[in-house]
Amino acid sequence: MVEILVVMAIIVVLIGMLIVAAGGARRAAMGSTTSSRINALSQAAIRFESDAGYLPPLLDNDRAGIDGLEPNRKTRESGYPDYLVTMQRRYSYTSPAEYLLGYGTEAEDGKEGLGIRRPGEDGFWDASWNDGVSGDQGVQDGRFELRERKPTRHGQQGTVLGPYLELDDPDMVGAIGWEVTGSDPDGLGEWDGSIDPATNQPMVYFPGDPGYSPEAPKVIVDAWGTPIRYYRINHPPSQPTVRYPANYEPIGGDGWRYSPTLSEFFALRPWDVGDSESIVWWFDDGSTKWGDFSEMTSASTRGDPTSTRKLTNGRFAFVSAGPNRRIYDWARVDFPGEEISGLSDGRGDHAASDDDLAGGWYEDGKDLPWLGKPAYNAGVAYTEEANRDNIVEVGK
Q: Tell me how far apart the alpha carbons of residues 311 and 329 are, in angstroms, rounded to a whole number.
A: 16
Q: Which ranges constitute the DSSP H helices of the chain?
A: 2-52, 82-88, 95, 106-109, 152-155, 309-313
Q: Tell me how far apart the alpha carbons of residues 108 and 124 are, in angstroms, rounded to a whole number.
A: 10
pLDDT at 315 over 70: yes
Is-contact 73 256, C-beta < 8 A?
yes
pLDDT grade for 374, boundaries at 50, 70 and 90:
very low
DSSP-derived 3-state class of residue 302:
strand
Q: Which ranges constitute the DSSP H helices of 259-366?
A: 309-313
Instruction: Out of 121-130, 168-177, 296-305, pick the least confident.
Output: 121-130
Give residue-wise pLDDT tens across range 59-117. Answer: 989 888 888 999 999 988 778 898 998 898 889 999 999 999 999 888 888 888 898 98
Give residue-wise pLDDT tens across range 191-228. Answer: 888 888 888 889 999 999 999 999 999 999 999 999 99
pTM given for the model: 0.83
Q: Please choose, from the candidates 318, 267, 389, the residue with its C-alpha nearest in 3D space to the C-alpha of residue 93.
A: 318
Helices and strands per DSSP (H, E), number in the chain: 6, 23
Total of domains in the chain: 1
The rounded radius of gyration (Å) of the Cα atoms in the chain is 22
What residue numbers bound the domain in which 62 lies? 2-395
pLDDT of 383 reads 47
pLDDT at 382 over 80: no
Q: Please choose, from the candidates 391, 268, 385, 271, the residue with its C-alpha nearest in 3D space to the C-alpha of residue 322.
A: 391
Q: Tell me how far apart the alpha carbons of residues 261 and 249 are, in angstroms, rounded to a whole number.
A: 15
Longest dimension (CA), the chain: 87
Beta-bridge partners for 360: none
Is-contact 110 102, C-beta < 8 A?
no
String of b and e for 252-286 (b: at least 16 CB within 10 Å)?
A: eeeeeebebbbbbbbbbbbeeeeeeeeeebebebe
Tell me 318's DSSP state: E
